[in-house]
Amino acid sequence: MQDTHSSSAGTLYVVATPVGNLKDITLRAIEVLRAVPLVACEDTRSAGRLLAALDIRGPRFTSLFEHNEQRKVEQLVEHLGAGHDAALISEAGTPTISDPGYRLVARCREAGIRVVPVPGPCAAVAALSASGLPTDKFLFLGFPPRKGIRLARFLKRLAAPARTGIAYLPARRLDEILGLLAESFPAARVVLARELTKKFEEFLSGSPAELLQDVSSRPRKGECTLLVYRPGERGEDEEGEECELERNQESGDTTEGEVGDGPGVTES
């Protein structure tokens, strides 16, 4: 069914911003950020620095992050409903992709408010495009859970055969995640992308064990993009995974659910 929009409402622009190199900003993003009266962002200070670097002055900022998104959504919908435009940006890259904003976009569509994407940088896609791993089928899973059954299932989906799995990873968890991949999927091909678009950008590739050894002496700061590919027939692991989930549901185990059923999971 085609979306219907209120003719009197403003427009929410979902604006991608650079993941590192300021020159990656698009002309259209600059145009939109100059025109809107309000910018919703994760951090008003970093957003202010970005717009100042682009010589954009005028819009006011309102914070929108994980812990206040539910409360702020209605305020932003009220602003848009009154006929005013707004832009949504994240700390870096494309908003709502493992970043806040999903609830706002969903609520705007529910309210008949027009939502317009302004495409641009995305760390997951940038890393995939230069990884040398297959790109015809891929699954983006966002950040891994902390531990337990959910983490095990996450890694199983990340390393599922015949498609490239993509995850974001805090650098401090590199040893842990690469170690688990080395134990469970030693033959997988892994690419680690760090400092994307920045001066010290690097791509490391090899088996999980090789990368674990390679990163052992490197600094632990920031976030990385982790890509995993394992040859095989697609779907060969799915039956066992579904049976395991069914057994947990039948036994009443609801404390550790399936990862990736929400908006953060993207498959192509």
pLDDT in tens, 160-189: 999 999 999 999 999 999 999 999 999 999
CATH topology of domain 11-121: Cobalt-precorrin-4 Transmethylase; domain 1 (3.40.1010)
Q: Return residue ranges of the chain for CATH 3.40.1010.10.
A: 11-121
Of 35-39, 50-54, 193-197, 258-262, where does mean pLDDT reach its minimum? 258-262
Give the Cα separation of 264 and 73 in Å (integer): 18
User: Residue with structure tokens 């057994």?
Assistant: 247
Cα separation, 165 vs 259, in Å, equals 14
pTM for the whole structure: 0.84
| 265, 140 Cβ separation under 8 angstroms | yes
Span 124-267: which CATH code? 3.30.950.10
Query: Does the pLDDT at position 243 exceed 60?
Result: no
pLDDT of residue 264: 47
SS3 content of the chain, % helix, strand, coil (to 5): 35, 20, 45
For 20-35, write each residue's pLDDT tens digit.
999 999 999 999 999 9
For residue 248, pLDDT over 80 is answered with no
The pLDDT value recorded for residue 137 is: 95
Pair 265, 142: CB distance under 8 Å: yes
**220 or 186, greater pLDDT:** 186
Q: Who contacts 215 (Cβ-Cβ below 8 Å, separation ≥6)?
A: 174, 175, 178, 192, 204
* CB within 8 Å of 20: residues ≥ 6 apart: 92, 195, 196, 197, 198, 201
Phi-psi region of 131 (alpha: psi -120 to 50; beta: other; left: phi over 0): alpha
